[in-house]
Structure 1
Amino acid sequence: MIIEWVAQAPVLLVAALVIFVPGSAALYLLGVRGIALVAAAPLFSTFATAAVAIALGMIGVGWSPLSWGLAILILIGVTALIGRALGGRLSAAPSRARWLLPSALVIGVLLGIWRLATYITDPAGISQTNDAVFHMNAVRFILETANASSLDVNQVIGGSSFYPAAWHAVTSLIVAMTGSSIPVAANMLTLVIGALIWPLGISWLARILTGSDAVAAYAAILSSALQTFPLLMFQWGVLFPNALSTAMIPAAIAVVMTLPQWVDGRDRWRPLARAALLVLVVIGALALSQPAALLPWAAIVLVWITARVARDERLARSRRWVVIVVSWIALAVIWVVLSRGTSGSHWPPFRGKVEVFLDVLLNGQLRVPFAVGVSVLMLVGLVVAWRVRALRWFVFAWAGISLLYVLVAAIGAPLVRVNILGAWYADPYRIAALAPIVVIPLAAIGLDALIAAVASRVRRRSGAAPSSRVTPETVGIAVATLFMIVLVLVRPVAMPAFLEATFDRESRYVAVDDSFLTPDERQLLESLDDFVAPGERVISNPSTGAGFGYMLSGVDVYPRTWSAPRTATWEVLAEGLRDAGTDSSVCEALQAYADPQYVLDFGPGEAGPGRYEMPGFTDFDGQTGFDKVAEVGDVSLWRITACSR
């Protein structure tokens, strides 16, 4: 396994460069330095990439690494001009031990890669999940149409509505730049999201929150301690866009928290202009990745703003309260609008009132095994944060994020599930993934407090002066690293099915004979272009895994998502396609779907969530009007001759 992953290192490098280089260059020219420069870079790169894709689509310029690169250079040049006009610099914070944070980040990155790679197993593996069909087919669509615009990408399934396509645009660039397959590019971007963007962002947030390099270092190392993020977003769904947007939330919060550092008492318009620009980048990055991320970001930021405004004696008390109340009302309105703008609540509550609070306190959301070690550190961190006035607001932020999980897991009222949880479709997986944003910094604060307490006790008992070689921070790094190594080796990471209270037997990226996409099915799909001429259409039951056909071959395999059309016409095919030679209504139904010339027989399918039985799509052997074209194991491709015109 290790050799296969090492062989894909160039693809991983390109993925990292696409995510970090544009943002780092632009923010450097804007005056950003230190960890902020690297941690905030994905926000600019993601926003710029998705915005450029929309702009190129609108003016009719094809999407490619060249057009993207030229547009990015123009944006960086504009940023340089803005940076010169605004002046100022966000300097790196002074540090007693310059090695501390960089070394911790390296450890955190390696642990994150280890955890994700061991779950994915094969760098060319495909997530055996419903949403993976749409996301990967969308990347193929971008590559074939040279259009990565969020206004157009939904055309892959015949839609015309906006769909946040930042992840898809970035993945398509990786494929185009490296020549890798779409699954490999997607998996390398997964490593960048979960093992680079996330630990950098959570570490920077911890640094801004506490002013401590040690706390930031511990946060980096502990960044992959919880299954709920980043791993869960690559298990369930699969939710690539949610993973990207959630990974950027910590840095997005930290960006806003740094804005006061730019303030110059002699000049007001420049800090305001810079603040507006940076907030625009944050909003754009989150909205074009997955708009639901805007809500927890805005809520946490508003808790911080509320705490600052409440303490600001320069404002009259009445004015302070007006600002606070109006801000929260505005957020509430935006929250309801975004929540009601989706297809609504799709999942029921599943947890009792007492159980759900244990889930929150012990980080056992979705019935995953309780994360006792991290939870103890978090509880210590909560106590420390409550006792420090400047940190107390973060306790409320933790309570707010925890409340979202309590609501989705235990409250069934439609008013709550539609108006508060609708932005996530009342999906507990998506909401549980928000918890580490607040839990990891608190756990880092808790670890720092415990290390400091133990070090102080040891010094008092020994009477020795502090060692310049073995500092409390060194011990903390060692303890956190050892804790994570044991955790990664021992703690199970099977995907939980919360409604059934069961867990997956194995990784959802592992293809076996009873997988959504079996090895035989994948082999046949990858060879479709050998048998099907360009422009011809293949029809299938997409919930058997055949929906991956377009992504794997470039052949027009319909439907291009896991869900078939819910129409009476499709029902005719689902029940009786195999009878096309004797039932004229079948040929009439096929006309509605552009007269496909081929059909895939991947069996009848199965009944279950996101799965459909379609007996009409199997057993063509001996049926009039069908000729076998190719076969791999039990799966086959047939030419439809019954409806020849």
Structure 2
Amino acid sequence: MIVGWLAVVPALLVTLILVFLPGLIALRGVGMRGLALVAFAPLLSVAMIAVAAILLGLVGVAWSPLSLGSVLLVLVLVGLLLGRLLGHPTPEPPGPAGDEGRWLLPVGLAIGIVLGAWRLIAYVQDPAGISQTNDAVFHMNAIRFILDAADASSLHVSAVIGGSGFYPAAWHAVVSTVVAITGGQIALAANAFTIVIGAVIWPLGLAWLTRCITGSRRIAALAAVLSPALQLFPLLMFQWGVLFPNALSVAMLPAACAVVMSLHVWNGNDRPVASWVRGVLLIAVAVAALALAQPAALPVWGLICSVWFTDLMLRVRRAAVLPARVAIIIGVWLLLGFMWYALAQGTGGSHWPQFQGKFESLAVAVLNGQLRIPFAWGISILMLVGLVVAILTPKLRWLAATWLCLTVLYVLVASVGMPLVRNVLLAPWYADPYRLAAFAPIAVIPLAAIGLDRVVGMIVARLPRAAVIRSWTAVGVATAGVLLVVMLRPVPMPAFLEGTFDAESRYLTAADTYLSTDERALLESLGEYVEPGERVIANPSTGAGFGYMLSGVDVYPHTWSPPRTAAWDLIAERLRDVGEDPEVCAALKSFGQPRYVLDFGPGEDAPGRYLMPGMTDFADQPGFELVTERGDVSLWRITACED
């Protein structure tokens, strides 16, 4: 398996350069240094790439590595100019007295990155594997559309399925650029970005957030080591859905919170106006990155920052007189409510029912076993210790409150069926428990790191050089624990409504998977049999949904969901009778008169899947001519409607 993943190295390196280099250069010019610089760089880079795509789309310039590079160069120069105009803030402050070990944090980050990458690789297994999920059909085909249309704008990418309007396409812009630069497969580039999201961006952001919370390099290092320990994130977002944009947005969320909590670094007394402008710009970058990756992270970002800010305003009395502080707090929460409601109105409401009792959902959240995932006993015990420490430490109480808020959101989505709750409060996530459960580690991991630090500290307190021993012992214990989880524990994907688990990775292609081995082989060879510009029609509830992505041929529909029209319903039921039923030809004409059809079977009757009995068994039917076949799947020419 490891040898096979060597093929991902070029795409991985290009992805790392794209996601880190522009942000590193611009932020260094603004004055960021150290962990803050490295952790926040992906947010600026992702925001710049997504904004560049929108700008190029608006002016009609083709999307390419050259055009993107030109816009990025201009944006980086603007950042450097702003840095010179606004001046540099004070450097990142050192850790508190006794915070030892300059190498401790880099070592912790390295361990977290390696373990996180291994966990993702061990699940995906095939470096060119395609997630066998409904949403993957849209995301993969969207990449092909961007490459064909030379347009990665978030305002235009939904045209792949005939739509219009805004769709967050930061993830798609990055992956399409990697494909364009490397010339590799779309799936391979997507999997490379998966590693960067889950094993690099995520631990860096968590470490920075934890350091902002605690002021300790040691605890930040522990958070980095523990970052891949929970299945809830990052792994679950690459199992369920598949939710690539959500994964990118959640991975950037810790750094987006940390930049707000470190605003004191940007608010020096020497140039207060410049300092505030710098702070506002950094927050704007965080918001843009989250919004253009997946706006569903914005309410949680606002919630975490509001809880932190409320605690700060109530605890730091010199900030302002009490009435003014209360007014500011109310204003912040009203702003959060407005943003939350606006995002709720932009979705389709609730798509999922409740499935657990209130006490059961609370219990599984405490044990980090949401969605019937096996309980994470070790992390949960450390988290509970961390909760006790946080409650007893005034400056950390807001973290305990944040954990409670995220837990309440999960309890609501799992156990409350009230329409107001599901269609408004939970609407930004379609009342999807998978999406909401993925936010829990943002609070759980820092709490577990605090708990582990306290436990190890109590054990070694009486030993000579206790501080040094405490640091390296804690890192060693965390590494050993996560290693056991990553190396020995299986990570099946839970289907919470059915109460079942996947038998294997959803990225593996086999004879009986959604995209079967024969289906993939035929789709990859379609260009040999279908003339340029011709459309192929197919049942998207089979592997044919990936046809456009794998072949570049216009295999319609480009998504997992078929058109909801009477014409399509007629085709789904009676296409095989086209030689005897002229109404079918009229229905085909409404979809561009496709001259080919794929027979990948009738589909399936399951959530998000459809049976289409008329789109199979064309042998011996008048009006069809066999073009080619692979195993039990085949490509047919529709001759009945030819003039």
TM over 0.5: yes
Mapped to 1, the partners of 2:15 and 2:548 lie a distance apart of 23
Q: How big is the shift at 1:333?
A: 2.1
SS of the equivalent of 2:629 reads: strand
Task: For 1:115 and 1:426, locate their aligned partners in 2 and report how far apart those are by CA, in whole Å.
Answer: 28
User: What secondary structure does 1:2 align onto?
Assistant: coil
Is the aligned partner of 1:73 residue 2:78? no
Matched, 1:176 2:184: no
Confirm whether residue 281 of structure 1 aligns to residue 285 of structure 2: yes
**Cα distance, 1:359 vs structure 2:** 1.0
Who is 1:349 aligned against? Answer: 354
The one-letter amino acid of 1:380's match is V
Q: Does 2:437 match 1:438?
A: no
Q: Counterparts in 2 of 1:231-630, with a 5 A limit?
A: 231-314=235-318, 315-456=320-461, 458-459=462-463, 465-466=464-465, 471-630=469-628
**Distance of 1:532 and 1:115 partners within structure 2:** 40
Secondary structure in structure 1 of the residue aligned to 2:626:
strand
Q: Is the 8 A contact 2:545 2:559 kept in 1?
A: yes
Aligned to 1:84: 84
Q: Deviations over 1:357-409 (max 9, x none)?
A: 11111000001001010000000001111111111111111111111101000
**1:58 correspondence with 2:58:** yes
Runs (4 or more) in structure 1 with deviation over 3 Å come to: none
Amino acid at match of 1:429: Y
Give the alignment's TM-score, normalised by structure 2.
0.98
Residues 520 and 633 of structure 1 are in contact (CA less than 8 Å); yes or no, is this contact kept in structure 2? yes
Greater displacement, 84-93 / 54-63: 84-93
SS in 2 for 1:499: coil
Equivalent residue, structure 1, for 2:198 = 194
TM-score (ref. length: structure 1): 0.98
What do the CA deviations read for 1:405-424 (whole angstroms, capped 9, x no partner)?
Answer: 01000000010001110000
**Residues of 2 paired with 1:599 and 1:351: CA distance?**
43
User: Once the two structures are superposed, what CA deviation does each residue of 1:223-251 show, in whole Å capped at 9, x if it has no partner?
Assistant: 01000100000000000000000000000
Q: Which amino acid aligns with 2:36?
A: A
Residue pairs, 1:106-117, within 5 angstroms: 106-117=110-121
Counterpart of 2:46? 46
Alpha carbons 2:89, 2:275 under 8 Å: kept: no
Distance 1:372 1:25 in 2: 42
> What is the distance in 1 between the residues matched to 2:21 and 2:339?
33
Which deviates the most, 312-321 or 241-250? Answer: 312-321
Work out the CA distance in 1 between the residues paired with 2:599 and 2:89: 62
Per-residue CA deviation, residues 58-98 of structure 1 (Å, 9 max, x unaligned), is 00111111111111111110111100111123524435311
Letter in 1 for 2:604: E
| Alpha-carbon shift at residue 268 of structure 1 (Å) | 1.8
Following the alignment from structure 1 to structure 2, what is the Cα–Cα distance between the partners of residues 224 and 508? 19
Instruction: Please give the alpha-carbon distance, in whole angstroms, between the structure 1 residues aligned to 2:175 and 2:514.
Output: 23
**Following superposition of structure 1 onto structure 2, how do residues 30-45 of structure 1 map, counting pairs within 5 Å?**
30-45=30-45
* Correspondent of 2:212 among 205, 208, 211: 208
Instruction: Say whether the 8 Å CA contact 1:205–1:251 is kept in structure 2.
Output: yes
Matched to 2:224, the amino acid is A
Cα deviations by residue, 1:92-136 (Å, 9 ceiling, x for unpaired): 443531110001111100000100001000000000000000001
Structure 1 residue 312: Cα displacement: 3.4
Letter in 1 for 2:446: P
Structure 1 counterpart of 2:109, one-letter code:
L
AA partner of residue 216 (structure 2): S
Over 3 Å counting, the alpha-carbon distance change for 1:90 and 1:232 in structure 2 is: farther
| 8 Å CA contact 2:267, 2:279 repeated in 1 | no
Structure 2 counterpart of 1:572, one-letter code: L
Structure-1 residue corresponding to 2:101: 97
- The answer as to whether partners of 2:364 and 2:370 remain within 8 angstroms in 1 is yes
Report the Cα offset of residue 7 of structure 1: 2.7
Q: CA deviation at 1:508?
A: 0.5
When residues 467 and 332 of structure 1 are mapped into structure 2, their CA distance, relative to the original with a 3 A threshold, is closer
* Distance in 2 (alpha carbons) for counterparts of 1:534 and 1:492: 45
Supply the distance in 2 between the matched residues of 1:498 and 1:45 (Cα, whole angstroms): 36
For 1:105 and 1:90, the matched residues in 2 are separated by 24
What whole-Å deviation, never above 9, does each CA across 1:436-493 have from its counterpart, x for those lacking one?
011000000000111111111x43xxxxx3279x621111111111111111122221
CA contact (8 A) 2:237 2:244 kept: yes
- 1:136 corresponds in structure 2 to 140
**3-state secondary structure, aligned to 1:471:** helix
Distance in 1 of aligned mates of 2:591 and 2:519? 23
Letter in 2 for 1:155: A
1-structure distance, mates of 2:476, 2:279: 38
In 2, Cα distance between the equivalents of 1:522 and 1:296?
A: 39
SS at match of 1:638: strand
Q: Deviation of residue 340 (structure 1)?
A: 2.1
Unaligned runs of 5+ in 1: 460-464
Letter in 2 for 1:313: R
Mark the runs of 5 or more structure 2 residues left unpaired by the alignment: none
Equivalent-residue separation in structure 2 for 1:174 and 1:312 (angstroms)? 47
Counterpart CA distance in 2 for 1:175 and 1:371 is 37
1:61 counterpart letter in structure 2: V
Letter of the 2:370 counterpart? Q
Partner amino acid, structure 2, of 1:435: A
Residue 311 of structure 1: CA displacement? 2.4
Residue 133 of structure 2 aligns with an amino acid whose one-letter code is T
Deviations 1:181-224 (A, max 9, x none): 00000000000000000000001100111011110000001001
C-alpha separation between the residues in 2 aligned to 1:394 and 1:582?
68
CA distance in 2, matches of 1:14, 1:325: 45
Deviates more, 1:392-401 or 1:120-129: 392-401
Q: State whether structure 2 residue 10 is matched by structure 1 residue 10.
A: yes
Amino acid at match of 2:171: W
1:161: Cα distance to partner?
A: 1.6
Matches of 2:589 and 2:327 in 1, distance apart? 62
Once residues 204 and 466 of structure 1 are traced to their aligned partners in structure 2, the CA distance between those partners, rounded to angstroms, is 26
Q: 2:519 is aligned with what amino acid?
A: E
Q: How far apart are 1:337 and its partner, in Å?
A: 1.8
For 2:93 and 2:140, the matched residues in 1 are separated by 41
Q: What secondary structure sits across from 2:257 in the alignment?
A: helix
Identify which range, 261-270 or 243-252, moves more after superposition: 261-270
Contact 1:104 1:221 in 2 (8 A): yes
Change (3 A) 1:264 1:613: same
Secondary structure (helix, strand or coil) at the match of 1:637 reads: strand
Q: CA deviation at 1:585?
A: 0.4
Kept in 2, the 8 Å contact 1:32–1:90? The answer is no
